[in-house]
Structure formats: C-alpha cells, structure tokens
Amino acid sequence: MATPQEATKASAEGETAGYLDMPPERRALAQAHAAMLSATAGKVALTLPIGADVDDFRRVLAAGAKP
C-alpha cells in the first residue's frame, strides 16, 4: 500500500488514483472504462430536459443499455 506522501505525489502528477497498486495494463483498462462511462453519461445528459432529475437519468440510461 502506498504512503500518504506517494498518494499526494501521484495526485500532483495528475494520475487518477495513482496511489493504487495495480499493473499498468489494468490501470489503462480501468481508465478506458471510466472514459467510456463518462462519455455515455454525457450523451444521456444531453438528451434530457433541463428539469430532469436522477430518476429520469436512470430511466434513459437503462433504456439505452438494452439491446
């Protein structure tokens, strides 16, 4: 496990969760997955009206995930 100083250094370098001990391949896959989720959430948010709430967001996201 990383020390608090290592966690601070990784954060300063801009690497998300850099203090986690994981292989580079797994970190790259996790970052790609997070980017995909973020892009999907952004697309769903753009389709909703201004007054939408979290339940509307969940409904549209679930509808889009169905095959």
Q: Is residue 44 part of a domain?
A: yes
Which residue matches tokens 């939408």? 52
DSSP-derived 3-state class of residue 31: helix
Tell me the per-residue pLDDT of 29-60, one tens digit each, with 9 for 90 and over. Answer: 988 988 888 888 888 878 888 888 888 888 88
Spatial distance between the Cα atoms of 48 and 60, rounded to a whole number of angstroms: 8
**C-alpha angle 40-27-1 in degrees, rounded to nearest 5:** 130
Establish if 10 belongs to a structural domain.
no
What pTM was computed for the model?
0.56
* 45: containing domain: 22-67
Confidence of residue 26 (pLDDT cuts 50, 70, 90): very high
Minimal CA–CA distance to 40: which of 67, 15, 62?
A: 62
Residue 42 domain-assigned (yes or no): yes
